[in-house]
């Protein structure tokens, strides 16, 4: 397949603007094409060995084949980047179009950027009724910074609320893109979708690689498959990679045999080899998940090349403890987490032991949505029941002796006395947030940002109806319920995205402990801003007293900063009259029972303080 007949592209969009629907339509379209052209001519014209081609038959139930995972379907987001090759005939020439599906949410920018690295161009899809949203802007800048050809496409023109001309204006004003012959489509009905691929072929440059050069293969995605093990997605930049080849990782210097190679069509389809310009899957004899290093360059054994620039590793910024509800599940869960983390190079995992919750893990995520998706996948795909603790961000603590450390777990956060004796400075991570909001909700959203210690950096009208604002915000302020609040205060119309802004000094963050019968419960410790302590402290004590069932003894719940109690709730003991059933009668029996009750009480008191968290409290308690 000559490289000039190959196009590698992606679709970027704000969530729900129709990326998956469009991907389906394109696959369907190219599938249908192959039915129409007689496949004999096709097979002769391409040098991959394939049966008559069918990308997706329009008759098959193909609802969003690119979004393979259940979680994605449910949440309507694409978590894992998926790649699919399509064959398309245009101007009497056969083209190989590689569509690289990119996740669309703010937490997944890392995955978006590494998917983009395998493309030369991208379709910027915008909903005609909603216009540019925060993730549209964020994804545009990612693509722009990678020098990709960006083709704007307006979707959902079938909607009554569509205001196509206004959206085209926004695209011109904000991104300075050429909108002269912009595609106006309905991915849902398929209207005008056929106009897209010719434009992709005309505007996006083919990959520039040397088929006869030394092999240079770029690993941009990988996942774990239960049947075949680690599967890598690679873009072949130069040369040719064949089944049976021996290749070496520039990152680790480890040598591998190519066990299988092919394209995603959309399922794996073995092709014996891939050459410069092509994108496909490669199965190597990798033993463990973490060997597939995203951003790695592979070359032929004994023919080293200069590696391509890799990726900045994604920095997990939201940390939470994850514990099995049933301690016996630890090993199985450990395996599941290992498999899931291969699917997601941006997660960090560390073992952790909690007095209250037992053995578990401290897991780092890119954001809270990322965390929710991880938990949901663990539960759905691996059938695990877990407790997830309150998420925290990494704080940097600078000590009097000049050393410093990052704290990712509230239990490691210095207590009040250590704070005043040994710590000279506390720093917290900041983000630069982009918020797009209709004028009528502007006041609400500004109030919300103010309440979360936000500082307005920029204010621009996007058009006569909407405003784009930039705020510096502490990350800790947006990892809890900021998204939900923003949505509810803007009736769902505000959109939000953020990028990392480094660390800033903060002298007002405190560690709050939750004490049950005077003993701190490690898993419930939280790091809070001074202004939150009173409300959150009261709130937590109240919530806990609501969910902890009555015990045979009195349970005192306190929240405290250092030695200072913020709030207290008491759950009175159950008065169980065990002798009631005995009709007076046998005194020895009565004594025995009373003795038993006392013993039971003692035992409960001992283990109760900690274990009650595990056994008695609804697991969702820890989500608040
Ligand atoms: P994604 O999050 O960008 O992948 O968006 P989806 O493809 O999942 O689409 C989100 C929702 O918009 C789905 O309910 C689609 O059926 C709907 N949708 C997508 N394209 C169109 C369109 O052209 N017109 C209408 N009316 N709805 C659409
Ligand atoms: Mg989708």
Pocket lining: 104 vs ligand 1, CB cutoff 6 Å: yes
Q: How many other CB atoms are there within 10 angstroms of residue 595's CB atom?
A: 10
pLDDT at 623: 34
How remote is the CA of residue 411 from the centroid of ligand 2, in Å? Answer: 38
pLDDT at 442: 96
**How far apart are alpha carbons 223 and 363 in whole angstroms?**
19
Tens of pLDDT, residue by residue over 530-585, are: 888 888 889 888 877 876 777 778 888 899 988 899 999 998 887 665 545 544 55
Whether the predicted interface score ipTM is above 0.95: yes
CA angle centred on 187, ends 184 and 193, rounded to 5°: 60
Sign of the torsion formed by the C-alpha atoms of 64, 7, 305 and 49: positive
Q: Judging by DSSP bridges, how do beta strands 255-264 and 183-184 pair with one another?
A: unpaired
| 230 in Cβ contact with 286 (< 8 Å) | yes
Ligand 1 atom 6, closest CA = 18
Mutate to test the pocket of ligand 1, among 12, 20, 21 (most ligand atoms within 8 A of CB): 21
Ligand 1 atom 28, closest CA = 188
**How far apart are alpha carbons 526 and 510 in whole angstroms?**
8
Residue 36 in tokens: 């129409």
Ligand 1 atom 17, closest CA = 18
Positions of the chain with pLDDT under 70: 32-82, 101-114, 310-314, 343-345, 507-508, 547, 575-624
How remote is the CA of residue 56 from the centroid of ligand 2, in Å? Answer: 17
Pocket lining: 155 vs ligand 1, CB cutoff 6 Å: yes
| 462 Cβ neighbours under 8 A, 6+ residues apart | 131, 132, 170, 173, 174, 436, 468
pLDDT at 555: 84
Q: Which of 474, 459, 590 is nearest to 528 (CA)?
A: 474
Q: How far is CA 358 from the centre of its chain?
A: 26
Q: Which of 461, 401, 425, 416 is nearest to 562 (CA)?
A: 416
| 498 in Cβ contact with 473 (< 8 Å) | yes
Using N-to-C axis directions, what is the helix angle for 109-116 and 134-145, rounded to 10°?
Answer: 40
Q: What three-state secondary structure class fits 266?
A: coil
pLDDT at 576: 60
**How far apart are alpha carbons 236 and 282 in whole angstroms?**
11
Q: How far is CA 194 from the centre of its chain?
A: 32
Q: Which of 90, 91, 84 is nearest to 8 (CA)?
A: 84
Q: What values do phi and psi take at 27, rounded to 5?
A: -65, -40
| 255 Cβ neighbours under 8 A, 6+ residues apart | 246, 247, 248, 301
| 409 in Cβ contact with 352 (< 8 Å) | yes
Edge-to-edge strand ranges of the sheet holding 6-13: 82-90, 93-101, 6-13, 121-127, 149-155, 183-184
**How far apart are alpha carbons 146 and 84 in whole angstroms?**
21
DSSP summary character for residue 307: P
Mutate to test the pocket of ligand 1, among 164, 187, 373 (most ligand atoms within 8 A of CB): 187
Pocket lining: 74 vs ligand 1, CB cutoff 6 Å: no
End-to-end alpha carbon distance in the chain = 55
| 508 Cβ neighbours under 8 A, 6+ residues apart | 529, 530, 531
| 435 in Cβ contact with 493 (< 8 Å) | no
pLDDT at 214: 96
Tens of pLDDT, residue by residue over 221-239, are: 887 777 888 889 899 999 9
Ligand 1 atom 9, closest CA = 18
How remote is the CA of residue 307 from the centroid of ligand 2, in Å? Answer: 32
| Paired residues of 455 in beta bridges | 472
Pocket lining: 163 vs ligand 1, CB cutoff 6 Å: no
- Which numbered ligand comes closest to the C-alpha of 78? 2
| Paired residues of 229 in beta bridges | 225
Q: What three-state secondary structure class fits 565?
A: strand
pLDDT at 571: 86
Q: How many other CB atoms are there within 10 angstroms of residue 49's CB atom?
A: 12
pLDDT at 410: 85
pLDDT at 491: 86
Ligand 1 atom 10, closest CA = 16
| 397 in Cβ contact with 415 (< 8 Å) | no
CA distances in angstroms from 279 to 13, 218, 499, listed in the order given = 22, 9, 29
Residue 434 in tokens: 């982009």
Ligand 1 atom 2, closest CA = 16
pLDDT at 343: 62
| Paired residues of 396 in beta bridges | 406, 427
CA angle centred on 623, ends 617 and 624, rounded to 5°: 95
| 432 in Cβ contact with 496 (< 8 Å) | no
Q: Which helix (H) or strand (E) holds 397?
A: strand 395-399
pLDDT at 72: 47
Q: What three-state secondary structure class fits 282?
A: strand
Strands of 192-304, DSSP E = 216-225, 229-238, 240-242, 246-249, 255-264, 268-270, 273-275, 279-284, 297-300
Q: Which of 4, 223, 22 is nearest to 95 (CA)?
A: 4
Closest atom of ligand 1 to CA, residue 189: 23
DSSP string, 492-539: T--EEEEEEEEEEE-S-EEEEEEEETTEE-GGG-EEEEHHHHHHHHHH
How remote is the CA of residue 340 from the centroid of ligand 2, in Å? Answer: 20
């Amino acid at each position: 397949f000559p490289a000039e007949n190959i196009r590698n592209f992606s679709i970027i969009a704000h969530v729900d603007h129709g990326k998956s629907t469009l991907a389906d339509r394109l696959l369907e379209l190219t599938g249908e094409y192959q039915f129409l052209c007689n496949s004999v001519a096709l097979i002769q014209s391409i040098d991959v060995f394939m049966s008559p081609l069918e990308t997706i038959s329009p008759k098959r139930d193909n609802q969003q084949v690119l979004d393979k995972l259940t979680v994605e379907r449910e949440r309507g987001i694409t978590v894992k980047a998926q790649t699919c090759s399509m064959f398309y005939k245009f101007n009497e020439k056969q083209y190989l179009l590689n569509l690289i599906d990119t996740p669309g949410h703010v937490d997944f920018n890392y995955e978006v950027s590494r998917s983009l690295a395998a493309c030369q161009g991208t379709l910027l899809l915008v909903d005609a009724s909603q216009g540019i949203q925060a993730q549209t802007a964020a994804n545009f800048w990612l693509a722009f910074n990678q020098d990709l050809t960006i083709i704007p496409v307006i979707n959902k023109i079938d909607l009554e609320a569509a205001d196509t001309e206004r959206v085209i204006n926004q695209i011109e004003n904000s991104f300075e893109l050429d909108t002269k012959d912009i595609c106006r489509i309905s991915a849902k009905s398929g209207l005008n979708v056929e106009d897209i691929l010719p434009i992709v072929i005309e505007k996006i440059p083919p990959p520039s690689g040397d088929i006869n050069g030394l092999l240079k293969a770029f690993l941009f995605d990988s996942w774990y498959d239960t049947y075949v093990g680690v599967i890598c997605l690679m873009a072949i930049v130069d040369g040719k990679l064949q089944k049976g080849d021996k290749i070496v990782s520039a990152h680790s210097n480890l040598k591998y045999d190519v066990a299988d190679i092919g394209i995603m069509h959309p399922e794996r389809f073995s092709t014996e080899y891939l050459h410069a310009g092509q994108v496909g899957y490669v199965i190597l004899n990798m033993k463990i998940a973490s060997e597939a290093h995203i951003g790695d360059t592979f070359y032929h054994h004994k023919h080293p090349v200069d590696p391509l620039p890799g990726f900045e590793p994604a920095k997990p910024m939201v940390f939470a403890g994850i514990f099995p509800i049933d301690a016996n599940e630890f090993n199985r869960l450990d395996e599941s987490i290992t498999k899931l983390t291969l699917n997601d190079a941006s997660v960090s995992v560390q073992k952790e032991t909690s007095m209250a919750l037992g053995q578990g893990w401290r897991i780092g995520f890119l954001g809270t949505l990322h965390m929710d998706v991880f938990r949901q996948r663990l539960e759905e795909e691996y059938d695990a029941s877990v407790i997830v603790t309150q998420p925290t961000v990494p704080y940097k603590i600078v000590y009097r002796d000049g050393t410093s450390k990052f704290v990712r777990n509230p239990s490691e956060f210095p207590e009040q006395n250590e704070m005043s004796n040994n710590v000279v400075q506390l720093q917290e991570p900041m983000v630069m947030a982009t918020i797009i909001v209709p004028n009528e909700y502007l006041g609400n959203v500004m109030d919300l940002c103010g309440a979360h210690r936000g500082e307005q950096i920029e204010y621009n009208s996007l058009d006569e109806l909407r405003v784009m604002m930039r705020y510096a915000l502490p990350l800790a302020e947006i990892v809890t319920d900021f998204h939900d609040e923003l949505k509810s205060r803007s009736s769902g119309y505000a959109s939000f995205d953020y990028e990392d802004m480094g660390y800033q000094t903060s002298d007002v963050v405190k560690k709050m402990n939750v004490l049950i019968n005077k003993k701190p419960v490690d898993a419930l410790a939280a790091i809070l801003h001074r202004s939150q302590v009173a409300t959150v402290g009261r709130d937590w004590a109240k919530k806990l007293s609501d969910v902890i069932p009555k015990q045979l003894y009195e349970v005192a719940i306190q929240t405290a900063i250092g030695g200072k109690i913020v709030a207290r709730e008491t759950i009175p003991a159950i008065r169980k009259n065990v002798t009631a059933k005995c009709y007076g009668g046998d005194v020895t029996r009565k004594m025995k029972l009373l003795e038993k009750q006392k013993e039971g009480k003692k035992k409960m008191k001992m283990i109760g303080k900690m274990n009650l968290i595990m056994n008695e409290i609804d697991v969702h308690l820890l989500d608040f």
